Chain A
Amino acid sequence: MALTGIQIFKLLPKTNCKECGVPTCLAFAMNLASGKAELDSCPYVSDEAKEQLAEASAPPIRPVALGKGVRKTTTGGETVLYRHEKTFFNPTILAATVSSDIDAAELDKTLKIYNAFQYERVGLNLRPELLVVKDAGNGAEAFATVAGKIAKESEFNLVLMTQDIDVMKAGVETAGFKRPLLYAATADNADEMGALAKDNDLPLAVKADSVEALQPLTEKLTGMGLKDLVLDPGSREIKQALEDQVAIRRAALKASNKALGFPTITFPCEMASNLDMETLIAGMMVAKYGGIVVMSDFTSESLFPLLLERLNIYTDPQRPMTVTEGIFEIGNPDENSPVLVTTNFALTYFIVSGEIEASKVPAWLLIKDSEGLSVLTAWAAGKFGGDDVGMFVKKSGIMDKVKHTELIIPGYAAAIAGDIEEELPGWTITVGPREAAHLPAFLKSK
């Protein structure tokens, strides 16, 4: 946890030489504590003090970077137990499992299918990030071949999963360039796995039989100089798994437990006998602190709901996703094309523009700044009233672009039609459908 100004002061030279730009060491210490100064500004702090300060200012849960390329991600780095306290930063990473005895043709097929699982939503590309290559006991070469092929030929990043150090070494040789996570160091192999991860500068998962048993292991590994660890407390039963996730998160954030200050990896694939139940358990892990969630397989029906949940849970609650106010052209509209208006909540914009696009009717979509609120919410909050919508349309410049005088408003905003008419004399205000899904039919019939 962060040190107080007084605690930092004790580590400073106390000479008040002013070289850091403030009159006293105490003032400098206070600035450091509140994040207003950098330690480097004082040329006289001892190395020992530097180390102590760096350790104290390290995030309570270490952010661990995984993978390379477009699906590179980070797990960990969380600072709160509940998203409303600030936000959750690094979305739970979704993984599926590939066995090392898969044949090349089958793997090609799988990669092709998995690669197609990408969904455009609110301007984001929602997709899974990881594949776990699981040692099927068919030798180091087979393992290395599968891992290497995934690393080279796909965007997916990897977890290399084996207890056998030779198999792991072979995997690192072919796939190490993509910064895979090594799974896992255990009480039995921590020295060798730790050394391998350290030599190749790779993140390492640590597996034990309980949260308690994880601690001596991570302490040993950090003692060896490893920093990027990921925790598996070994629970494969849902109730215990939830308890363990909460225990680890609280230990790091509430008890400043450094030995548990790492992200977690969880295995719904080992907790259920079918993919549907795995999906629900994964849903629990997305909400309750899973860093990486490993499924047996990906299907679009099971992935998509999890991607939506993840998007929701990891959205910053203090900043709704918005788009900028203005005129959006959809499909090359001309002076006779319809004009529609809605709010600047990203979700609203993307749903509405998507439906207009699907209608193939070129149109002008006006986005009014409503502080990122949906239509009904904005209306209820007084951010999408008749007067301001009318005023906005006037100022938007749309009148120079079209010859007609018809404005289509959302069905849920029917109540503001009269007020807009007053603000826009001569214009016809048409109340559109309530649900955007009915827009294509509505626009086509115009």
Chain B
Amino acid sequence: MGFEITKESYAGSIKGITIGKGDNTLTVGGQTSYPFYQFEGDMPNKPVIAMEIWDITPEDWPEAALAPFKDVVSDTAAWAKKCVEEYGAQAIVLQLKSTDPNDKDASADDAAATVKNVLAAINVPLIIWGCAVPAKDEEVLKKISEVCEGENLIIGPVEEKNHKGIGAAAMGYGHTIISSSPIDVNLAKQVNILLENLGMSLDKVIVDPTTGGLGYGLEYSYSVMERLTQAAMTQGDDKLQNPMINNLGNEVWKCKEAKQTVADAPELGDPERRAILMEAVGAVSYLLAGSSILIMRHPESIKLAKSFIDLISD
């Protein structure tokens, strides 16, 4: 009459992938159970929260998001440094907003120079997120790979359209790739297979399943991540056993309710706390869906998400 929990039978696990270089490395993934289901497997590496910085002064961030970084938003390297030194960032994500051809269209050389500055300012792994225009990302990320040879940057998003150029550069100069696809298990697998065909080892690949904001498509991302995790772990699909990354801060903070002021929406209460909790609740959802690297913005939401990770892991 005793009770035994019905256990999942796993046929595979998520790869442990080391990001960063030298003394400044972190290992992500490596779990042998569904996210935090430690009663039937191990989660040797806690999910990591990477802090995002932009290479331009953000113009549309709400006051709450801008406030902690006011003194550094116009100096990318100083911004990165502040995240690490003051807020204890485990990793930095540099969002290359300047390179968007529909906007400032900064050159690959300029972007590469910024990356070098940021690298010099921090001692944690550096993730480079392009503007999501495939051709431009290919040009920019190739250049960055070259000038940062051996740094083991994590670069992306890499899609079917630009996987050849960026894949080759990443292999040639020793970087890790973010393989990206729009909320679809088959497409996610397809990009990984293409990268493998190119000669890229899947041990150097993090998967970006595409992230929807809280209240703005989160449910689609959440389910595709559960499906990817199931494919990897219960079906043992070795093309999908990669840790996942979610560009969360960027999605949450651009949605309307994260931006509304007290005058816009008195019924939603304090704009700062509201948006912080929107980001943190979004983080919890993505963690439970299997995220290994969460890209987040506000130091307070990050603190909350980290305590959650600690409490549920230990």
A-side interface residues toward B, CB under 8 Å? Answer: 82-84, 116, 119, 121, 210-212, 215-216, 238-239, 242-243, 246-247, 250-251, 254-255, 276-277, 279-281, 283-284, 287-288, 299-302, 304-306, 308-309, 311-313, 315, 317, 347, 351, 374, 380, 435-437
Contact = CB atoms under 8 A, between A and B. Distances in A.
A239 B312 contact: yes
B223 interface: yes
Contacts of B3: 210-212, 215, 247, 251
Given A283-B285, A313-B285, A308 B38 contact: no
B6 A312 contact: no
A308 B313 CA distance: 25
A197 B202 CA distance: 58
Nearest to B8: A250
A301 B270 contact: yes
Contacts of A437: 256, 259
Given A243-B5, A280-B281, 11 more contacts: A82-B226, A84-B226, A116-B267, A211-B5, A238-B312, A243-B39, A280-B284, A281-B308, A287-B288, A312-B215, A312-B285
A351 B256 contact: yes
15 contacts: A121-B215, A215-B3, A242-B312, A243-B5, A243-B38, A251-B3, A276-B304, A279-B277, A281-B308, A301-B273, A305-B274, A305-B277, A305-B282, A309-B218, A351-B256
Interface in B260-281: 267-270, 273-274, 277-278, 280-281
Please list the 6 inter-chain residue pairs (A to B) with the smallest Cβ-Cβ separation, ordered nearest first: A212-B3, A300-B269, A308-B215, A283-B284, A312-B219, A305-B281
B278 A82 contact: no
A317 B288 contact: no
A239 B312 CA distance: 5
Contact of B308 (A119, A277, A312, A315): A277
A327 B103 CA distance: 34
A301 B219 contact: no
A276 B304 CA distance: 8
Contacts of B283: 280
A280 B305 contact: yes
Contacts of B282: 305, 309
A436 B259 CA distance: 13
Nearest to A308: B215
Contacts of A211: 3, 5
Given A215-B1, A301-B273, A238 B6 contact: no
Interface string B208-244: 0000001111111011101100100000000000000
A313 B219 contact: yes
B231 to A, nearest CB: 12
Contacts of A216: 1
Contacts of A315: 219
A255 B280 contact: no
A223 to B, nearest CB: 15
Contact of A313 (B5, B222, B268, B304): B222
A82 B223 contact: yes
A312 B222 contact: yes
B37 interface: yes
Contacts of A302: 277
A309 B217 CA distance: 10
Contacts of A82: 223, 226-227, 230
A198 to B, nearest CB: 25
Nearest to A243: B39
Q: Which of A82, A119, A216, A311 has the most CB of B within 10 A?
A: A82
B226 A283 contact: no
Nearest to A276: B304
Nearest to B252: A305
Contact of B6 (A254, A281, A313, A347): A254
Contacts of B285: 283, 287, 309, 312-313
B129 interface: no
B6 A283 contact: no
B269 A299 contact: yes
B227 to A, nearest CB: 6
Contacts of A247: 3, 5-6, 39
Nearest to A351: B256
B86 interface: no
A239 B314 contact: yes
A435 B213 CA distance: 14
Contacts of A250: 5-6
A311 B216 CA distance: 10
Nearest to A246: B37
Contacts of A300: 267-269, 274
Given A242-B312, A283-B281, A284-B288, A312 B214 contact: yes
B308 A239 contact: no
Contacts of B220: 317
B101 to A, nearest CB: 13
Nearest to A279: B277
A84 B311 contact: no
B257 interface: yes
B201 interface: no
A305 B214 contact: yes
Contacts of B307: 277, 280
B300 to A, nearest CB: 8
A238 B313 CA distance: 9
Nearest to B266: A300
A308 B224 CA distance: 19
Contacts of A276: 277, 280, 304
Nearest to A239: B312
Q: Which of B37, B182, B254, B277 has the most CB of A within 10 A?
A: B277
Contacts of A287: 222, 284-285, 288-289
B28 to A, nearest CB: 20
